Amino acid sequence: MSQHTITVDTKTVQLDYILRMADNAMILGQRLSEWCGHGPILEQDIAITNIALDLIGQARNLYQYAAELEGNGKTEDDYPFLRDVTDFKNVLLVEQPNGNWGQTLMRQFLYDTFNYYFYSAMQNSTDERLAAIAEKSLKEIKYHMRYSSEWVVRLGDGTEESHQKMQDALSDLWMYTGELTKPDKLDEQMASSGIGVDLKSIQAQWQKKVDEVLERATLKKPESNWMQSGGKQGKHGEHLGYMLADMQFMQRTYPNMEW
């Protein structure tokens, strides 16, 4: 009996953890897809929507796995399209609005760098499925990090105006970076079971890489180290609700519709 209880509990915890990862990829992918048709030039429009599709593909792999774990006839579409705001467990950084091109790329850079070290470590997960998804995703993420880092340097170390815009973007977004590498109870539980990533172990790597790129971009981190958090626990800012209203419109208006 107790054996059974533990198994069920582990499964629920693991499911929550996978949904966090999936929601991060989904929400950022959806955000980036808002650039489709609006990119500053054709080539960059294609580049950014390409990254959006990579992320949505990663989200799909994880949602499919979650649906299999949960059973009960769940499908990958149920998670993005039929859950409410508080059920989403993505970090606050990825739901922030696109703003201008520089803000989008700053958000992307801060996240890509985390994502890169996170998935690098995830390759060693004792969960073979997660390890395989990580290995596959990592090739895409490596390119994302290269792309967004170059843009941060290009604009940060660009003209006076582009520098100022990037500095503003960094100052606005910095407070959302804390929860990326700060473990909560679920993170710790998953790390100690060998399934998840020990966030403390990637904190220094993330910091080092970010510092390196920001220095090349001649940008300065804000002096205040106060961090906003709550996304991983389902406490989101106002922006996510509007975004979901857009993303979920079809399924909410025409339940069960397919194409």
Positions touching another protein (CB under 8 A) are 40-44, 46-47, 50, 146-147, 150, 154
Distance CA 16, CA 232 (A): 10
Q: How far is the CB of 2 from another protein (least distance, A)?
A: 52
Q: How far is the CB of 7 from another protein (least distance, A)?
A: 42
Distance CA 113, CA 109 (A): 6
Distance CA 155, CA 24 (A): 26
When the beta carbons of 165 and 236 are compared against another protein, the nearer one is 165
- The answer to whether 22 and 63 are in contact (CB under 8 A) is yes
Distance CA 55, CA 115 (A): 11
When the beta carbons of 151 and 176 are compared against another protein, the nearer one is 151
Q: How far is the CB of 10 from another protein (least distance, A)?
A: 39
Query: What are the C-alpha distances in Å from 94 to residues 75, 105, 115?
Result: 24, 12, 11
Q: How far is the CB of 38 from another protein (least distance, A)?
A: 14
When the beta carbons of 28 and 243 are compared against another protein, the nearer one is 28
Distance CA 108, CA 149 (A): 9
When the beta carbons of 10 and 44 are compared against another protein, the nearer one is 44
